[in-house]
Amino acid sequence: MDSFLIHGGTRLKGKIEISGSKNSSLPLMAACLMTDEKTTLRGVPRLSDIDCMIRLLTELGCQIQRHDSSNSSTGGPPLDGPLDIQVTKEVNNEAPYKIVKEMRASICVLGPLLAKRRQAIVSMPGGCAIGDRPIDLHIRGLRKLGVEFRWEKGKIIGEYAGRLKGCRMYLGGAMGPTVLGTINVMCAAALAEGETVLVGAACEPEVIDCANLLNKMGARISGQGTPEIRIEGVDHLAGVEHRVIPDRIECGTFILAAAMTNGELELRNCNLDHLIAVHDMLEDIGIRIERENDTIFVSSNRRLNPIEVTTQPYPGFPTDLQAQLMGLVCLADGMSVITERIFPDRFLHVGELNRLGARIRKDSSTAVIQGVKELSGARVMASDLRASAALVLAGLVAKGKTIIDRVYHIDRGYEKIEQKLNAVGAHIERLEEKDIKDL
Ligand code: EPZ
């Protein structure tokens, strides 16, 4: 397992190219199961989660080819490299436990498989470091379209005869809308008979991106990005080309990194509209952001104000930036309060940030952060994707050296993060855990 050795005291300055969205790429790749023709996705990032989805789609009968990367426009590492996906056989309809346990987002093959093959067998995804990850809303929505489910040895088996039938349904849950649940039901409805209306649908940009891909393929979807999505079922979907939207969470992470280090970053391939709540909050804490088309200029040269934030479904402040924001406000001038409404247990980063000298107290799904003058380097452990990003940001500003163990977590969702950060002034070394000497 690799670790990062980070020499703190960096002011980030320079240009970073944002990669394509991980959380959009995964459902887009799954949607390619719904056509017999070749689909080309551009801007799919090189991440371990994407590799996992490539393995899964290969098991499900797809041939997948990744073309070479093009040089980055910022002098950073080469990114992109189009991905060609084509179904060549439809004999295996099972997403096996060995893959699903590695990446619970494998669940996003459920809707496409049912739509195209009338059968899907997916291992129950189980929980993860950020909490229980139920799929009851996925099942409820697909059942309303006519899918019959049964459970066997930890697997969900969904199947039906004939054709799914569209209907009007409410898809929200106690914790609000479901992103992948909305996408799963939207995919299934795209090839169903008649009209489906999803009320209480998720509004995230990743839902919009998937609906836009399906429409390019021949689907008839409207209302994506609003809580009510209409889908007029069609008989056939074609293979097309599509560019993935920029990764708003990677972009938000680097915005916070610039703020934390009192740096100046020029971020390319961004869509600030996808970060409206973050943009609004950043101005309150004293971070300047300017925008020129798909480029963002972010800088800060002062101690930041404390903030009160609650994570919410889109367009609210995203839960996937909660840990990184907590890292930032560890150094704010006063007391901040962060409440987690989507995954109430998503606080494994608190203990690790406190090891770096932060003063954070957690009480149920709320954390109170008393700003300190500085953090100091220590050995810490990554626990999940976004918590590990928060630890990298903290390591950049902590005095002395910080070691972060188990950085495989960060490789799931941040393409070449140490190359991108080192190109703008960071000093991060990736070492095998056995080569790391204790601090
Ligand atoms: C997506 O997960 C993202 N993952 C998550 O990003 C993100 O945190 C989450 O949306 C919320 O924005 C991908 O897109 C691959 P949900 P998803 O269904 O769709 C509850 C990251 O770090 N719920 O929108 O699985 C659930 O427990 C990852 O990149 C049910 O109760 O999340 C949660 O409280 C982490 N029943 C809330 O809804 C269900 O059937 C939102 O979950 C489904 C969800």
Atom of ligand 1 nearest to the CA of 105: 15
CA dist., res. 409 & res. 382, Å (int): 7
Q: Over the range 41-61, which residues count as b (16 or more CB within 10 Å of their CB) and which as e?
A: bebbbbbbbbebbbbbbebbb
The ligand 1 site (C-beta within 6 Å) comprises 23, 26, 105, 133-138, 173, 175, 178-181, 202, 206, 319-320, 342-343, 385-386, 413
Q: In what order do the strands lie in the sheet with 288-292?
A: 13-17, 264-268, 295-299, 288-292
**One-character DSSP codes across 402-422:** EEEE-THHHHTT-TTHHHHHH
Contact 9, 428 (CB under 8 A): no
Alpha-carbon distance 267 to 322, whole Å? 20
Residues sharing a CB contact under 8 Å with residue 97, sequence separation 6 or more, in sequence order: 123, 154, 155
Do residues 26 and 385 touch, judged by C-beta distance below 8 A? no
State the fold for domain 22-243.
Answer: UDP-n-acetylglucosamine1-carboxyvinyl-transferase; Chain (3.65.10)
What is the whole-number distance in angstroms between the Cα of residue 426 and the centre of ligand 1? 32
Per-domain residue ranges of the chain: 3-18+246-435, 22-243
> What's the pTM value of the predicted model, to 2 decimals?
0.97
Q: Which of 44, 169, 175, 208 to mutate to test the pocket of ligand 1 (most atoms within 8 A of CB)?
A: 175
Classify strands 155-159 and 148-152 as parallel, antiparallel or unpaired: antiparallel
Torsion of CA 255, 261, 264, 268, to 10 degrees: -30
Residue 93 contacts residue 67 (beta carbons within 8 Å): no
pLDDT per residue, tens digit, the chain (439 aa), is 899 999 999 899 999 999 999 999 999 999 999 999 999 999 999 999 999 999 999 999 999 999 887 776 777 777 777 999 999 999 999 999 999 989 999 999 999 999 999 999 999 876 678 888 899 999 999 999 999 999 999 999 999 999 999 999 999 999 999 999 999 999 999 999 999 999 999 999 999 999 999 999 999 999 999 999 999 999 999 999 999 999 999 999 999 999 999 999 999 999 999 999 999 999 889 898 999 999 999 998 788 999 999 999 999 999 999 999 999 999 999 999 999 999 999 999 999 999 999 999 999 999 999 999 999 999 999 999 999 999 999 999 999 999 999 999 999 999 999 999 999 999 999 999 778 887 7
Intrachain domains 3-18+246-435 and 22-243 with the same fold: yes
Note the CATH number of domain 3-18+246-435: 3.65.10.10
